[in-house]
Each structure stands twice: as structure tokens, then as C-alpha cells.
Structure 1
Amino acid sequence: MTKFSISQLQSSHSDNSDLNIKEIIYLMRRHLPLITITISTFFILSVLYTLMQIPTYTSTTMVVVEDKSQTGSMFDLGFETNLSLINTMNNEIELLKSRTLSEEVVNDLWYSPHKNNLFLYGSKCYKPEGIKKTLRGLWDSIFNRKNVPKSYVQDAGISDSLFLKAAETLRKNMSVTNDRNSNVLKISMTSNDPDESALLANTVARLYQQRDMEWSAGEIINLRRFLQDQAKQVESELHLVEDSLRQFQEREQIFELEGNAKQLLDQLGQIDTKYRSALAEINIIRERRRYIDSKLSQEEKTLKGQLLNSIDTRLLALRTEIAQTDANLVRNASTYGENHEAVLSLRRKLTRLKSDLEEQTNQLIAGGTSVADPLKYRQALIDTSLFLESRLANYQSIAAEYKKIVNQYNRQLSTLPAKSVQFAQLERDRSVLAETYSLMRQKFEEARITEASQLGKIRIIDPAIPPLNRTSPNTKINLAVGLLLGLGLGALTAFLIEQTDNSIKNVSEIEHKGLNVLGIIPDISKAIYATKKRRKKKKTQKTPKGHKGTINVASDIKRRIITKEDPRSPISEAYRSLRTSISYASVDNPTKTIIVTSPGPGEGKTTTITNLAITFANIGKRTLLVDADLRRPVIHRIFNLNIEPGVTHYLTGFPRDIHPLIKQTEIKNLQVITAGATPPDPSVLLSSKRMHEFIKSLEIGWDVILFDAPPAIAVTDTSLLA
């Protein structure tokens, strides 16, 4: 008989571990029940998850951020016409997501009529219907959750814990996006109620626009008040000077100067007016700087100081040249007049230098503040403050030059008679204060008009509306994910089972090793199970109450002798095919002695050898079936024979002849030698010289001899017997 080992089959299995498409399909079909159960389980879980989820809705409002960095303000005061504020869309997005704005929204809605009908405050709860209601109720009861909306007193304030929780929830449910190369922001809010999602989105946009308007007009309002106070102060001083001048004229009867004195007074008045105007500009810049600095934190002020030092260091030479040019311009203008070629040339040079200074300052400021967190450092405020510092230094330089010229004219006036000097001083003060008052009133009116027309840079172009469709759960996606997860996990489990299973699964694994397949026996376990169930039911009906019937292994195997019970069945035909294959496996040297074994117990070796023996006997061959499984003998029970005497008796010396061991069965031409008494160590008996004599004595008298051997892997008995 052709032999092959289990290790060879395992090696064959590992050689074919790389699966092709055909093998994958076979694997899927082989484990189809497992995969089906996994897919069904995940599909059901996906359905339950979808039904358990509270629906969410998303509403979106659109706002446009107008870029005013390239346009001049009405209140540039002649020195900020090209001021550019670095305010990118990323800054606006961070401002929208800021904690401060979320807290303003929470506070605004708390004092609105919607307070007791919002998921945000827990004053509204989800109310499912149908099967969702049942599932949610079961879920809440398992985790002891109470789905009861809260109610708040209308005029009561919000608690700190609820305030912080609602603000954090609002920030988590907010999404702000910006399309590339556009200044449009999309503010999306998510809520469990469609109306609430629209309300939240519109409230965020409204308060965002309101805050921008307050920030934009805040500096203008402060400056308008400052100019109003300054104008009143100058007006009061002007009235005092006018009264003093009138009293002096009435007392001294001097109403004007003549000749060089009058010309000197006119020149002094012009220069002094410019000097006072420069001082007014300096005061305005300082007030604006003070207001902006009051809005900065200590860290922001530190950053501003660092940037200012860096700018001063890099632009020192340029600023020095501008200061010298300003001084020359003031001196030449006072000497030669405004229309002299030297004055015009200096003015053109000064314009070019100031343009270079502003451009380089912009670059340095942008490079210094662009690395800052837009929430931690309010970039635009810092930039404006830095520009004011630059303008302040410029005007201080101009005022210093005018002061020098004023001092020169004062020294010239001091050479006039005392009364003329006194009159000149009063007249000069009146003229200068009148010009200063006119300038202050002009700036005040400009500030007032600018304040009235201040609209901010935020425009709401598309308010949010309640959405018709929910955002989540997405039923189609959830079910698709569930099916894919189920399929993937099922296939993975099947693959792992296949990889860890070293058993022979198909004929190709044997043929791959060059071994001949003598026969294929179908699985008869289902048919046997059905028969067993019917017989057990009948036996239970016949068994008296209180008596327990027994079902042993032999009776199970006996029912598997299908070649006797149902010789016309396809399974019986398979055994006959196996018999034919064995008969013609070696025509020149016919096989007479056959050992039937299996890797482990319970795999059907006894069923196979019994049916094979019957098929040999049915064609007239004298067949002997030897039960060589001395550890767990079963064949004597199948044929209802006495186990003694048997193989062990012969091997131990009694009887000395094999004829007392041979037992006749109900089947013609089929005889059996049972195992005999169970020995303590069967392997010793099977390897003895007596065993060789036993096999020799069986060669005469039978055409086919079949040995039922123990499992090959469990014990060494089969190897010794072979």
C-alpha cells in the first residue's frame, strides 16, 4: 500500500499559503456561514447605532470681510494716508472661534426669549418616536440617564458652570471655513435642532459684526472726545488773549506795528502757527497711542517694545536723513518762501524718503507680527501703535525745528520797544490760537462725521436658515461601513482560521505532493445526526420515567455502516470506488494487507475500515478485519462480538493458534479478530516478535486483511504496526 506522512501534507499546505483568486473564492465559500454571521452582526449593530443616534443639523451663514487696508480714512490727520493694517482671513477665523465671542453668544441667548428652548442650555431634549423611542428608553434605563429638559427663571443669571460649559459646547459645534482667494467666511453651527442651529449661526455672525463695529469706532470715539476737549480749551485761551489784547490796545492806543516790526510779526505768526499745529498733531498722536496701548495686554506691550527697538535700529540712518531734510526744509521755507526752487527740491526729496520709510516700516512690522498668534496678539492694534510711534518721532523733529525758528524771531522782537514787544506777543498769541482753534474744530468735525459713518468691515451676505436635512447620522454611510466592517472582519477571521488549520481540506493538497488519491468519502455526519435524533426520540418515548438511556460510541459508529444499511446510497458507492482504487493501485503486486489510521481520534478511521471491509466481502473476497487499536477497541461492539479472546491474548502466549481468535460476522466472507483485553502498554506487544508471527500466520486463508490502527499522531502504535 502507498504510504505518506502527515508532515508531508503540512508541508504541502505551507507551500500553497499564497492564495490566488480561485483559492480566495473557495475560502469564502468554505467559511460562508461565518462571514454571513459577521456581516449580519455588524449590519444589525449599524442599524441600532443609526437608530440610537440623536440627529444633528448644520446651518451656515456667510459674511464678507472687506479689506480696508488700502484705503485712507477721513481722519488720517495728514500723516496716515497710506496706513495698512495686516488683518488676514486666518485672524478673522481665530477671532470667530475665540472664547470671548462664544461667551458673548451664550450671554446674549441667555437673556433672549429662547432660553428655555435650547439644547445648548439643556432646556430642550430630544424626543424620539416609534422604535427609536423604545431603543432610547432602554438605553437611558441601562445607564440611568434622565431625559428631562431643564427650566430656568426668566430673569435669573446664568451659573458659572453652565456658562463655561455652554461656551465650550458652542466652540466645539462651530466650524469656520474660507474659500481660497476670497474674503468670504462661512460660519457653520451644529445642533440637535434645525431651528437652533440657524439661531446660533445668525447670533454668532451678528455679535461678530457688532464687535467689529465697536472695535472700528472705538478709537474714533475716543479721539473725537479728545478733540472736543482740546477745542474747548483752545477756545477759552483764545478768549483770554483777545480780552488782554483789547485791553492793551485801549490802554496804550497801539493797534498795529509798522515797517519791519509788522513784517517780523507776520513771519513770526506764520512760523508759530505751524509750530502750534505740529504740537497739536503730536498731542493727537499721543492720545491715539495712549488709547491703543490701553487695549493691549502686558505681553502685547512687550512685543511692541521689541519690534519698536528692532525698527529703530534698522531704520536709524533713514530717520536721521529725514530729520535733517525736515530741518533744512523748515529753515529754507522760512528764509526763501514756499515756492523757492530749493524748498521745492527739499520737499520732493522728503516725500521720497518718507515713502521709503513707510514701505520699510510696513515690511518690518509685517515680518515681526506675522509670527504672533492672532488671538494672543491683536495684530492690527500693535501695527497701528508702531506706525503712530514712527509718526510721532517725525512730528517731534518738525516741531523742534519750528521751535528754533520761533526762538530766533522772538530774539529779534526783543530788540523792539517794550510796548511794541508786548503788543506783538499778544497779537501773535491771538493769531496762533485762532488758527489752532480752527484746526481743532476742523478735526473734530471730521472725527464726528467719521464716527457717524463707521460701519466696520464685516457684512452679513447670507443669513442662516433652518436646514431641511440632517447632517448625521448618515444612514447610507453607516450601513455601508457596517457591511464593509462585517465583510472585512469575517474575511480576516476566515483567513486566520485557514492559516492556523493544518488539516487537509481538498484533494489538490494531496495531489500537489505527487500522491495518489484513492478515494473521496462524503461527509455523512448530517445524515447520521438526523437518524440519531430520530432514534433518540423514539428511545426516549419507550424509556420508563426515571430511567436514563445510554448512547455509546459503538452504536454511533454502527449507524455509520452505510454499506450495510443503505448499499444503494452515493456514500456506499464512494466506498466501493475506494475498494476498486485499492484493488487496482498495484496490478502486478496486489495489495493484501492494509492499515487504516487517522491523525487523531474521532476522525472516522473505524467507520472507514468497517465499510471498506464490507465492500471487499460483498464481492466475494475473503476478508479479515483485525482490531489493532488496543487502547480504544470498538469493532467488537459494532458487530456485537465478544472482545475476548483477541489480539492481546495471542501476543501474550494464549492461545498459541489464531483459529480461536477468528469470529464470524453476519456478513458473508467477513471475519473479525477483536482486540482482546486492554494491556497496560500496547506498544510493547505490537513491537514484539510474537506480533511478527501473528501477521505471518494471517497471510494464508484470506484475500484481504484490514488492520484498524490507533491514531498516528497520538501514539506510536501505528508506526510499530506498519
Structure 2
Amino acid sequence: MNIPELPQSPDSNSPSPGRILAERQNGVPMLARPREQPLFEEESEEDALDLRELWQVILKRRWTILIFTLIVVTAVVTATYLKTPIYRAVLTLQIDREDIKILQVGEVSPGETGGWNNQDYYQTQYELLKSRSLAQRVINQLGLADLPPPPPSSLAQLKQWLAAWLPKTDDAKPEPPSENGRIEGLISGFLGGLTVEPVRNSRLIKLYYDSPYPKQAATILNTLAKSYISLNLERRFDATTYARNFLQERLQQVKVKLEESERGLVEFSRQEQIFTIGDKGSIVGQNLEATNAALGEAEKRRIATEAVYRQMLGTRQGLSQVLDSKIIQDLKQSKAKLEAQYQDNLSIYKPAYPTMVQLRNQISQVDSMIGQEIGNIRAAIAASYEAAKAEEALLRANLDRLKQEVLTQQDRSIQFNILRREVDTNRQLYDGLLQRFKEVGVAAGVGTNNISIVDEAKAPSFPYKPNLRLNATLALVLGLLGGIGLAFLFEHLDDTFRKPEDLEKLLGLPVLGMIPMLKQARGDERAIALIGHDDPRSAFAEAYRSVRTALQFSTASGVPRLLAVTSAMVSEGKSTTAISLAIQFAQAGKRTLLVEADLRKPSLHKALQLDNQTGLTNYLAGGEVHPANITRPTHISNLFAIPSGPLPPNPADLLSSGRMVELLTLAAEKFDQVVLDSPPLLGLADGLIVGNLCEGILLAVEMGSTPRGCVQGAFKRLRGARVHVLGTILTKLEARPGAYGYYRSYYYYYHTDYYGETTPDTKKLLVEGMKAEA
């Protein structure tokens, strides 16, 4: 393998580094800068929810979900076992609608159901069942105040034990509660165990009572129901007795007032001679109403006849009565026939012929008959109009007379109306009180009750709570939901790149390739790039061949001759990418030079097993070192490399010197492809200097590891230094459940029987990918 001859190093009178960098377009062949584009594109929200992506997140974070679920289920099951079992007794009550109402405003029939009043009634009964007075009554009957409190549960004992170990801030002991406070606490505890649940669309009510003792729970419910029924009977009896006494007194008073008002009304009507017929009012008033109605009808008829009459005065034969007259229509038809016959005979006879004269006389006779009939119709219209006027005048005169009579009677009926209204009011009040008194009398026998016990409470055999199966199921569901939520929270907080679309949206650059992670076998000390070289059918080698193909279309002139590879941070695979791309270019038949431009942490000489005693730094430092002396062949055909050499104290100054520009210019002339391994961008100026010396630069980003802010800052530095960024490469892609689905398809397409065989590494990737897809 021959090393290409390189020109001697320039003399010491070379221009200054700043001048060389400013005028480097005359030395290193550079491509035209692309048109400025926006730094970062705004991320747009997905139009549709990607269920496959959500499933991949669940697979990726499955251990987080399982551990969180296990913790929740364990905690809930443990707390369930430590709690005291509570037994629940059940009793069913039937409450019918109350069948008596006393002096309600408005009319409510007995046994009415539905409506707001019905809801209010039942809601009142529910609150009475939960009243403190009823609770105290049951407590007194059963003597619950004298019973000892139930023993604390294991969980409560654990809390007390923990509280005993905690430091106490106050040594003062709490004062014991007073007797009233103890009774109030007992009532509150009693009501805390009681539950009132109405059965929907029925008159049944379920009563539940929770207690650590099953027999006590049943006894309390049965006693509560009986006390509630007794209390209801007492309330009904008291209400009925009070209502009867009250209504009886009011009836006597209203009866006396009604009799006095009726006598006064009859005596006044006799004195004033005011006659009425039932509820229709006086006779004069009825006549006035009838006359007023008749006058209205007469006015309608007069207006109608007047309209016809005025139309008659304006026309002679255009009246509707004339046009609709059967006689006139028959006469016009006869006239038409005679005129037609006359015209037919006129072609034969002369007008003086007797037949013609006779026809003319007949036509004249029909005309006179038509005129006579029209005159009769007009006379009838005029007569109707005059009759309607006369009728209206008579009715109007009669109406005026009746109005005067009514006004005279109204003057005399003021006191009469007052007396009549008083009589009506007293009669209505008396009828209402009498009806209510009879209803109360019928309901006075309170032997029947509207509340009954349907099913008495029995001592439960099994505890109601805690329900281990229910709690475990709820804990499992909540744990899974919480674990999934926690997984999505972690995924949301993950600021790395999980898909190439994320990188493309953030930077506005294409992703030229996706490189899978290649794990080394135990005892294998070869560089990863060389492992991919030794297995050309592996997914790793194929991924870099894809990047090489993409670079051919990155510019109008193909692959940039001077190409640099960099990354935002260390350990993102930029050196492996530089070596692998150089290998791919060499395998494609290009004479390729690999330059180790990372003068702070070089690694290419170790990967290619080259001597690093002399290298790039020896040449850049201005020594008498020829470029051919630092260019070394490798064991790979067409691939040459320049190692870094000894580490300098000022790498940035050396990289920005004029000797670096001259070296790259000479390398671009002697080699088909030059690849530079550039230092990381963040915190260092070396990468920006190398990027400006090259025609294009590739940005390597480690998938799932590099934060977005670091990549964004690195790209901003590149754009600020006007470095031509060709695109990005996603490295260290893991073929595991939860990884991006496209890559598994990628491996499958290129590394199955399509090539005739499958390598062991590829088989492993395929198996893992198929499992994840399933």
C-alpha cells in the first residue's frame, strides 16, 4: 500500500492564522453556503393519537409500572389485614305517603304522590331517621352509653406504637371529656355507622348499620325502626288532636259570620229592588250584553251592504250580484245565439228582409230584459242597505237606553256587591273548614300507620369491610393506572430523542442515518467500527452504508470532499461514526484519509492500532515534519489515517493555524475523501474551527441519552459560526421492546434471508424486534 506523496511543509514565513482563515476560500475548495433557514422549527402537535407509540412507551417503562403496581397492591393488602372487620346489618322499611294535611295553602288531595311535595316529604323522613333525638332515644333504650368501647384495630395499635416512639412536644395530658361531650360523641359515632339509602323508584328504604359486633348491629337497626314508627304515631296523634280542636272552634266562628252576611244581603236587595238570576247578574245587565252583541252584528251587516251599495253606484254591470245572476246569464246566452243567427243570415238576406227585422226585434227585446233584471238587482241592494241602516239605528237607540238603566242600577248596587262578596267569602271559608274537619275526623283513628318494616335486620355472618378481594382489585387497577401515568410522566420528562422526527422538528435538518448499538463479545477488544467492518452484512455496517448513500445526495456535487463528524457531548459515537464512514468510503473504492482532529481526547489511533508518537500536532506545531510522514496506511484497503500525535496545551490555536488549512488543501488534492473526527461542540471552540475548515459537517446524536437542550445549543453554535451542517445521525439505537418500530422493520428487511443468511447478531436483533412487535 503506497502512501501518496504530499508537498513539503511551507516555510516559516506563512501568513498569520487569522488571515489564512479569512482567505481560506482560495485554498480549500468549499461549496456555496446554502440559503439561511430558520434556526429551529416549532413543534406542531400530532393531529391523531398514535396508539402504537403509546404501547411502545408502556413496553419501555414496563418495570416502572410493575414495581409501582406491586407497591400499591402490597400496601393496600397489608392495610386491609390490619384493619378491624366491620359487620353490616340491613333492614328494609316501607314509607307510604302521609294521608292527612291540615290547613294547607292550596288544594292537595289525600294520598297524592309525585311532585315536589312528595320529594320534600320523603327527604324529611330520611332526615328524621338520621336525627340526633332518635339516635339518643335508641342509645337510651339499649344502654349503649354504658358499654365499653371496641378494642383498637391492629392498624390503630401500630399508629399508637409509632406515636409512642415519636418525640412529644407537650407533656400536658389532655383533659377527659365532660358528660355532655361524651354523650355527643356517642351520638356522632352512632350516626356515623348509620346509612339511609332509598330504593330508586319505590317507597322502600334500606337502613344499614356498621359495627364490629354483628349482633349489636342487628339489634340497633331493629330498635331504631321500632322507635321511628312509635315516634311517627305520636306525631300523628298529636297533630290530629290539635287539628280537630282548632277546626271546630273556627267552624263556629265562620258559621255565625256567614249567617249574618246572608241576612244583610237579602234585606238590602229587597229594599233597593235589585233582582239577580243566579250567578248571571241582573236582568238589565243581561239585556245590555245581548243588545250590545246584536248591535255589533248589525254594524257588520250594514258595513257589508254599504260596501256593495257603493260598488253599485260606481258601476252598472260589473257587480258580483249581476255577474252571478242565473237569469242574466241565460238572457246573455239567448242574445248570443240570436246575434250569431243574425250574422249567419246576413250573408243570405238583406237587413230589410222580414226575417232579419224579426231577429233584430228579438235581440232588442232580450237587451231590455237584461236591463230590467239589472235594475231589479240594484234596487234590492239599495233596499238591503237601507234596512241595515235602520236596524243599526234602532239597536243603537236601545243600547243607549239600557246603558242609562245599568248606570242607575250600578249606583244602587255598590253596597249590594260589597255584601255579596262578603257572603261568597264566608261561604268558601266555611266550606273549606268543614271539608277539612271531616277529613281530620275520618283520619282520627290512628290505628293504621304509613310506616312498616318489610325485612327485619339479622346478624350478618361475614364482614362487610374491609373487602380484601375488592381492595386488592382496586389496588391493582389504581396501581396499573398510576404506574402507567408515572411511566408517561417519566417519558414526558425524558428530554432525549426517541424518534428521528423529534430531531428533524427541533433542528430542521434531515436525519441521514440511524445506527444500531453493537455490543462487543467478552474478550473482544476490537473497536466497534472494525467489528462492523469484519461483518459487512451486519445491521451496523448496513446502517453506515445507508449514511454514505444519503451523503451522496446531501449536496448538488455529491459527498463533500472535506467532511467532519462531531457531536454535542462526549461518548455519542462520533469517533465510531468517523471511522465507519471512512471505511465505507474506502470500500466504495475512494482513496480516503481519516484525520484525528480531536486533540484533547484522541481515540482513532487506538481503534486502528496506529503509532501515535508523531501526528497532526507535530505538523501543526511548525516542526520539520512532512505531511507524508504523519500519514499512515491502515489494514483496510484505500484507507489512510493521520493520528493526533502528542496532546498539545493549546489545541484551538493549532487547529486555527494556517498549517491546518494547507494540510486540508493538500489532502483534498491527493485523496478522494477526507473525514475529520472533530471534538465535541459544547464548551470547546475546537469543533467550530474544524467545521469552518470543512465543506460540511455531520452532527452525531445518541438516541435516548443526549438532552435536547444540548443538541439545540450545539446546533445554535454551528449556525452562529456559519458552519454548513449536512444533517444528523442518530447513534446507539437499541433493538429492544419499546424501541421505535421503524428500526426493527429496517433490520428485518436488510438482514434476513434477503441476503441468503442471517448473522448471529442479526438473529438476536430480529428475535427481540419480533417479540416487541407481538
The answer to whether the aligner puts 1:654 opposite 2:623 as a matched pair is yes
Q: How does 1:251-330 map to 2 (within 5 A)?
A: 322-325=255-258
Give, in angstroms, the shift of residue 503 of structure 1. 4.1
**In 2, Cα distance between the equivalents of 1:571 and 1:353?**
103
Q: Return the alpha-carbon distance in structure 2 between the equivalents of residues 10 and 111 of structure 1.
A: 76
Task: Tell me by how many angstroms 1:693 deviates.
Answer: 1.1
Q: Secondary structure at the match of 2:680?
A: coil
| Secondary structure of 2:430 counterpart | helix
Q: Distance in 2 between matches of 1:143 and 1:665?
A: 74
Are residues 1:570 and 2:538 paired?
Answer: yes
Partner amino acid for 1:674? Answer: P
Q: Alpha carbons of 1:67 and 1:716: their partners in 2 closer, same or farther (altered >3 Å)?
A: same
Match status 1:691 vs 2:660? yes
- CA-CA distance at 1:696 after TM superposition: 1.0
Aligned with 2:430 (options 346, 354, 357)? 354
- The equivalent residue for 1:56 is 86
Corresponding position of 1:635:
604
Give the CA deviation at 1:618.
Answer: 6.2
Structure 1 pair 692/52, CA: closer, same or farther in 2 (3 Å)?
farther
Shift in Å, 1:565: 9.1
Superposition pairs of residues 381-460 of structure 1, within 5 angstroms: 458-460=451-453
Distance 2:685 2:231 in 1: 91
Shift in CA distance, 593/347, structure 1 to aligned 2, threshold 3 Å: closer
Q: Could you tell me which residue of structure 2 aligns to residue 242 of structure 1?
A: none
Q: Give, in whole Å, the separation in 2 of the partners of 1:49 and 1:60.
A: 26
Report the equivalent of 2:54. Answer: 24
User: What amino acid is the match of 1:710?
Assistant: P
Q: Which amino acid aligns with 1:106?
A: I
Could you tell me how far 1:707 is from its partner in structure 2? 1.0
Q: In the TM superposition, what whole-angstrom CA distance separates every residue of 1:553-576 from its partner, at most 9, and x where no partner exists?
A: xx8xx5534527963773553366
* 2:84/2:152 contact within 8 Å kept: no
| 8 Å Cα contact 1:59/1:466 also seen in 2 | yes
Aligned pair count reads: 476
Match of 1:629, SS state, is: coil
- Distance in structure 1 (CA, Å) of the matches to 2:232 and 2:546: 93
Shift of 1:695: 0.8
Is this contact kept in 2: 1:582–1:591, CA < 8 A? no
Q: Shift in Å at residue 485 of structure 1?
A: 3.5
The CA distance in 1 between the partners of 2:683 and 2:496, in whole Å, is 15
* Aligned-residue offset at 1:465: 1.7
Bigger radius of gyration, 1 or 2? 2
What is the letter of the counterpart of residue 506 of structure 1? K
* Pairwise CA distance, 1:584: 5.6
Map of 2:150 onto structure 1: 123
**1:217–1:454: 8 Å Cα contact kept in structure 2?**
no
Partner of 2:370: none
> Quick one: percent identity of the two aligned structures?
26
Instruction: Tell me, in whole angstroms, the C-alpha distance in 1 between the residues paired with 2:604 and 2:54.
Output: 41
Q: Quick one: which amino acid aligns to residue 602 of structure 2? A: P
Structure 2 CA distance for partners of 1:694 and 1:521, relative to 1, 3 Å: same
Aligned match of 1:177: 197
Amino acid at match of 2:676: F
Find the aligned partners of 1:71 and 1:20 in 2 and give their Cα distance: 65
Aligned to 1:604: 573
1:717 aligns with 2:747: no
**Partner Cα separation in structure 1 for residue 625 and residue 588 of structure 2:** 32
> Deviation string for 1:499-529 (max 9, x for gaps)?
55554433555788997665432123xx34x
Whole-Å separation in 2 of the counterparts to 1:105 and 1:583: 90
Q: Check the 8 A contact 2:91/2:222 in 1, yes or no.
A: yes
1:583 and 1:174 map into 2 onto residues whose CA distance is 78
Cα shift at 1:12: 7.8
Instruction: Measure how far apart 1:106 and its partner are.
Output: 2.8
Write the distance in 2 (CA, Å) between the matches of 1:160 and 1:508.
72
Match of 2:515 in 1: 521
Post-superposition Cα deviations, 1:113-149, rounded to whole Å, max 9, x if no partner, equal xx75xxxx533555xxxxxx8x89867755569xxxx
Give unmatched runs, 5+ long, in structure 2. Answer: 1-29, 103-109, 166-176, 265-421, 692-774
Residue 186 of structure 1: aligned partner: 206
Partner of 1:91: 124
Q: CA deviation at 1:627?
A: 1.7
Structure 2 CA distance for aligned equivalents of residues 569 and 139 of structure 1 = 65
Per-residue Cα deviation, 1:170-227 (whole angstroms, up to 9, x for no partner)? 2122122334675544322123444333222222213323434555567999x9xxxx
CA distance in 2, matches of 1:674, 1:584: 26
Aligned-pair distance for 1:708? 1.0
- Report deviation, 1:713: 4.7
Taking the aligned partners of 1:582 and 1:653, their CA distance within structure 2 comes to: 38
User: 2-side partners of 1:15 and 1:319: how far apart?
Assistant: 84
Q: Which residue of 2 aligns with 1:464?
A: 457
Is the contact made by 1:584 and 1:590 (CA closer than 8 Å) also made in structure 2?
yes
Deviations 1:71-107, CA, capped at 9 Å, x for gaps:
99xxxxxxxxx9x999933322222211222223333
Distance 1:163 1:603, change over 3 A: same
Contact 1:597 1:712 in 2 (8 A): yes
Structure 1: which amino acid aligns with 2:517? D
Contact in 2 for aligned 1:319/1:357 (Cα 8 Å) = no
Q: How far, CA to CA, are the matches of 2:40 and 2:158 in structure 1? A: 52
Residues 11-70 of structure 1: per-residue CA shift (max 9 Å, x gap): 486565864334333444444444444444444444445445544343221234465643
The 1-side partners of 2:101 and 2:492 are apart by 74
CA distance in 2, matches of 1:714, 1:140: 57
Aligned equivalents of 1:321 and 1:579: distance in 2?
110
Find the aligned partners of 1:671 and 1:63 in 2 and give their Cα distance: 98
Partner of 1:205: 225
Q: Structure 2: how far apart are the matches of 1:215 and 1:518?
A: 89
TM-score normalized by structure 2?
0.49
1:545 matched residue in structure 2: none
Q: Which has the higher contact order (CA 8 A, sep 6+)?
A: 2
Over 3 Å counting, the alpha-carbon distance change for 1:465 and 1:659 in structure 2 is same
Go from structure 1 to structure 2 and tell me whether the alpha carbon gap of 1:219 and 1:631 turns closer, same or farther (over 3 Å shift). Answer: same
In structure 2, relative to structure 1, the CA distance for the partners of 1:9 and 1:319 (3 Å cut) is farther
Equivalent residue number for residue 411 of structure 1: none
Query: Given the superposition, is the C-alpha separation of residues 50 and 519 from structure 1 closer, same or farther in structure 2, using an over 3 Å criterion?
Result: same
Q: Gaps spanning 5+ residues in structure 1: where? A: 73-81, 127-132, 146-156, 224-280, 290-314, 332-345, 363-386, 388-445, 536-554
Amino acid of the residue matched to residue 93 of structure 1?
A: Y
Q: Give 1:325's aligned amino acid.
A: L
Alignment match, 1:307: none
Mapped partners of 2:510, 2:184: distance in 1 = 79
In structure 2, C-alpha distance between the alignment counterparts of 1:703 and 1:349, rounded to whole Å:
120
In structure 1, the residue matched to 2:375 is none
RMSD: 5.5
Return the offset for 1:670.
4.4
Letter paired with 2:183 = F
Checking the alignment, whether the CA contact within 8 Å between 2:561 and 2:672 is kept in structure 1 is: yes
Q: What's the offset of the Cα at 1:169?
A: 1.5
SS in 2 for 1:208: helix
Map of 1:485 onto structure 2: 478
Report what 1:538 is aligned to: none
Query: CA 1:141 to 1:124, structure 2 compared with 1: closer, same or farther past 3 Å?
Result: closer
Q: 1:57 to 1:714 in 2, by over 3 A?
A: farther
Aligned match of 1:196: 216
Q: SS where residue 699 of structure 1 aligns?
A: helix
- AA in 2 matched with 1:122: P
Distance, in Å, in 1 between the alignment partners of 2:136 and 2:508 is: 80
* Alignment-derived partner of residue 276 in structure 1: none
2:772 corresponds to: none
Change in 2 beyond 3 A, CA 1:520/1:216 = closer
Give runs of aligned pairs for residues 329-348 of structure 1, distance below 5 A.
none
Q: Tell which deviates more after alignment, 475-484 or 700-709.
A: 475-484
Q: Secondary structure at the match of 1:520?
A: strand
